[in-house]
Structure 1
């Protein structure tokens, strides 16, 4: 199951690697164009990426028993640019939905945003100040299915309002998942113009889930709690507790990697045996 044993909590188990390996792109040496054989086993590279995601370390602080950080970062950059993490995320989500007896392709989604502080490595062109949350950094706009499994992630400056980013997020969602016809969102997206645009342009029913009248304490609201739980899953990975990435696409890649780890663990978790009397 690969040349590397599991050494860290973030590492892949044999079952996880058996699930992930077929989803990775073919090595260059196995394509028609050809190329040099890869020096390091893919499992070691994937484990290194999961280690960085889970522990939030600097690339140069990668433990010496992994491939060189330059090699790992090179794979991360190439796979991010090629959309590899998006494809793996989608295949795993389809497997989870099928296992739950659902259609692999969702018909409804939930969207929301999360502002996170940005490190000094994040340049001014892609960062901003969220006056409502009082956060200087970036904002993650995500769409999930009704189980909270990630569909689309969009990274903007934190100063971008939810309603403004919603058009790009919904357009990306519609392009990738034509079967989705209903989308829920919270009160921050309230806008008749946005609702009408979603209906007329994308043929989506954009449904605002509002707070209960007179609500003063925390109450779990229908649909909205699903996407809030997804943000919790994402930020359990320390690399996502803040935004350290120079490129927004790399921020999105780490969000995807956190979800990929969560889904591979769910898919390979041993099923509990029924008790016998």
Structure 2
């Protein structure tokens, strides 16, 4: 599923790295190496030797990030997953949320900050997802940035990728009037989902629809490279979210859908 897009990219851009021509690498193994590092959280130099040279993998990763190939692959697979679920390619509803992630040692202070509300020093990762939990947009900012900055950027991404079909966005109480006004300018209704006063003191209570983005954040944490902010560049961190999403969707698409016979067998 991924090979045609990478082959097309290879035909358009053939570049040479310090260790040789990256076009001579097995690009499927390069993708496998990116998946492996994302999942295990190892450093570039600690990639197993049965993968291509770490410098070639790093070089291809950087090229694909700069060319936006990771986003195009993610968009292609997202459309396929939605079609498999018998839905239109683009959603009419997105759910937006932010998460503050601690930064590892060595991450530049110029790209990080302190989230005074959550007492987290690092970066703020914002996601826009549909009702199937598929990622529509990603933004990575310093943790000191207000949620409004992430919300407006995510609305712009969602409007660009979903077009006129996008009608509504659900956000939490941390987003203020600025996001609602920006959504109105984009012809998107922004609804703030507020907690039920009766749920006060009960800890985490799933909120209708809004729990989906929380579930996506939890799924991304299974990719150990995303549990902290290890990358110096915020766009590299965003690219890792796309690659984690690509790995999850590729697994969903290659796993056979259960038939009614399988359902009866499990029930028995």
User: Is TM more than 0.5 here?
Assistant: yes
Q: Give the match's secondary structure for 2:197.
A: coil
Alignment check: 8 A CA contact 2:15 2:22 kept: no
Q: Give the match's secondary structure for 1:141.
A: strand
Against the structure 1 CA distance between its residues 34 and 110, is the aligned structure 2 distance closer, same or farther, given a 3 Å change threshold? closer
Against the structure 1 CA distance between its residues 22 and 118, is the aligned structure 2 distance closer, same or farther, given a 3 Å change threshold? same
Q: How does 1:219-238 map to 2 (within 5 A)?
A: 219-238=205-224
Aligned pair partner of 1:254 in 214, 224, 240: 240
Q: What is the aligned partner in structure 2 of residue 206 from structure 1? A: 190
Q: How does 1:99-248 map to 2 (within 5 A)?
A: 99-178=84-163, 179-189=165-175, 191-199=176-184, 201-215=185-199, 216-217=201-202, 218-248=204-234
Worse-superposed segment, 213-222 or 84-93: 213-222
Distance across 2 between alignment mates of 1:117 and 1:104: 34
Distance across 1 between alignment mates of 2:174 and 2:9: 45
Against the structure 1 CA distance between its residues 203 and 70, is the aligned structure 2 distance closer, same or farther, given a 3 Å change threshold? same
Against the structure 1 CA distance between its residues 25 and 143, is the aligned structure 2 distance closer, same or farther, given a 3 Å change threshold? farther
Give the unaligned 5+ runs of structure 2.
none
Q: What is the aligned partner in structure 2 of residue 26 from structure 1? A: 8
Worse-superposed segment, 55-64 or 118-127: 118-127
Q: Give the match's secondary structure for 1:194.
A: helix
Against the structure 1 CA distance between its residues 73 and 210, is the aligned structure 2 distance closer, same or farther, given a 3 Å change threshold? same
Q: What is the aligned partner in structure 1 of residue 31 from structure 2? A: 46
Q: Deviations over 1:210-266 (max 9, x none)?
A: 000131212211111010011111111000010101111100011111111110001
Distance across 1 between alignment mates of 2:22 and 2:177: 56
Q: What is the aligned partner in structure 1 of residue 251 from structure 2? A: 265
Alignment check: 8 A CA contact 1:25 1:84 kept: no
Against the structure 1 CA distance between its residues 41 and 202, is the aligned structure 2 distance closer, same or farther, given a 3 Å change threshold? same
Q: Could you tell me the TM-score, scaled by structure 2's length?
A: 0.90
Structure 1 vs Structure 2 CA RMSD:
2.0
Q: What is the aligned partner in structure 2 of residue 3 from structure 1? A: none
Give the unaligned 5+ runs of structure 1.
1-18
Distance across 2 between alignment mates of 1:109 and 1:115: 20
Against the structure 1 CA distance between its residues 74 and 193, is the aligned structure 2 distance closer, same or farther, given a 3 Å change threshold? closer
Q: Could you tell me the TM-score, scaled by structure 1's length?
A: 0.87
Q: Deviations over 1:99-133 (max 9, x none)?
A: 11100111110000011111123211110011221
Question: Which structure features the higher share of helix residues?
Answer: 2
**CA positional deviation for 1:155:** 0.4
**CA positional deviation for 1:174:** 1.5
Distance across 2 between alignment mates of 1:251 and 1:27: 22
Against the structure 1 CA distance between its residues 214 and 152, is the aligned structure 2 distance closer, same or farther, given a 3 Å change threshold? same
Distance across 2 between alignment mates of 1:234 and 1:77: 21
